[in-house]
Amino acid sequence: MHTDAIEALAALLTDEGRSLLDLLADHDAAHELSLATRLRREHPPELIAAALTQSRLRQRGRAKFGADADRMFFTPNGLEQSTRTSVADHRAARLAAAGVRRAIDLCCGIGGDALALARAGIAVHAVDLDPPTCAVVRANADALGLADLLTVECADATEVNPSGYDAALIDPARRTARGRTFDPESYAPPFSFLTTLAARVPAGAAKVAPGIPHEIVPAGMEAEWVSDRGDVKEAVLWWGGLARAGLRATLLPGGAELTSGSVRQAPVGPMRRYLYEPDGAVIRAHLVSEVAESVNGNLVDETIAYLTSDRLVATAFASVYEITDVLPFNLKRLKALLRERGVGTLTVKKRGSAVEPEEVRRRVRPTGPNAATVLLTRVAGAPTMLIGRPVSGTG
């Protein structure tokens, strides 16, 4: 299988393969059969199949890699597990700002991080165990004009000598034959290898699952959670000269950062005029109390990451809603209230509720010219409906 994949990539790198990829750019998947039939008059069927697959991957890759995707090469698994450009650029900028000039990227995948490091002017040695993936990284470095700064080695990350590099980056596989694993010792390499690596390289970063328990983070390391446009993308453990705080939440694309040296519990209090919904990275980093302090707010429930305050404060770390109604959970009452107010555009959000937003919309059947948001949650332990509207310019 490895040989077939490498041969397919090699064929795409020929003049004929590149011309075929250019021809298939933005092709309509619905017409692939007729398109392939026409192309067989001039090209081998194996090359057409490889080009069609790669063209589909490039179209999907634009969501992560932007315009670069149209020149890059992908494997299906590599694209799914790759780091998007915005996140990789953030990390590379941090290494460059710290003075890193030579880095080793272990378990590099198709090269999302390695390419960003090279673009930041860092000489990077990329390592992966999978031969087709290594071939893809080399092709991507060539395609993006970064081959002078990026070398590739096909090897086991645990057997490569990382000495002599300013920093190491490692992205262990978090999937097994049975799917995604949530046991850090089931990573490949296992989480315990991080201690060995940190002892051999003076600084570095290890990607881990966003749900990693705080208590297993090694002493002295910084744990950073990164979100992009509100979606939590990853967690990273920084060590050595790259560790700057105990806990950090980073929100992209703006780059807003919230930090703390330790976890604190936000106070719990009554529901007030405004509701603050912290970004997922803030919640994962256990930095909700820092947001509460900045808005002079409190939790609505000790187990729910919703904050409330009488103050309207512009913050990058939370979305804000002005609450008009606080009601016990009752869908019949909600339906009557929405009908009375002519609400046809209904946004349903939930936190701490077992009811799905789709079920709410199906049962209340909103109609009318107005819009509203309903947040299903618990307030002081009681199932509650909060009705309001988003406050623009605060999130």
> DSSP of 139-156, one letter per residue?
HHHHHTT-GGGEEEEES-
For the sheet containing 318-328, what is the strand order? 298-301, 304-309, 274-278, 318-328, 382-390, 370-379, 343-350
Long-range pairs for 311-314: beta carbons < 8 A, 24 or more residues apart: 311/274, 312/274, 312/391, 312/394, 313/394, 314/393, 314/394
Query: Residue 377: its pLDDT value, please?
Result: 98
Query: Residue 104: its pLDDT value, please?
Result: 98
Tokens representing 83 are 């780091």
pLDDT in tens, the chain (395 residues): 577 899 999 999 999 999 999 999 988 877 788 888 889 889 999 999 999 999 999 999 999 999 999 999 999 999 999 999 999 999 999 999 999 999 999 999 999 999 999 999 999 999 999 999 999 999 999 999 999 999 999 999 999 999 999 999 999 998 877 778 889 999 999 999 999 999 999 999 999 999 999 999 999 999 999 999 999 999 999 999 999 999 999 999 999 999 999 889 999 999 999 999 999 999 999 999 999 999 999 999 999 999 999 999 999 999 999 999 999 999 999 999 999 999 999 999 999 999 999 999 999 999 999 999 999 999 999 999 999 999 986 55
Query: Residue 30: its pLDDT value, please?
Result: 76
**DSSP 8-state class, residue 83:** P
Whether residue 127 contacts residue 190, with contact meaning beta carbons closer than 8 Å, is answered with: no
pTM of the model: 0.92
The SS3 call for residue 392 is coil
- For residue 211, give the amino acid letter: G
* Contact partners, residue 142, CB within 8 Å, separation at least 6: none
Q: Is the peptide bond before 44 cis (omega within 30 degrees of 0)?
A: no
Query: Residue 242: its pLDDT value, please?
Result: 97
Side-chain-side CA neighbours of residue 141 (13 Å): 26
Phi, psi of 370 (to 5 degrees): -100, 170
- What is d(CA 149, CA 118) in angstroms, rounded to the nearest whole number? 6
Query: Residue 38: its pLDDT value, please?
Result: 86
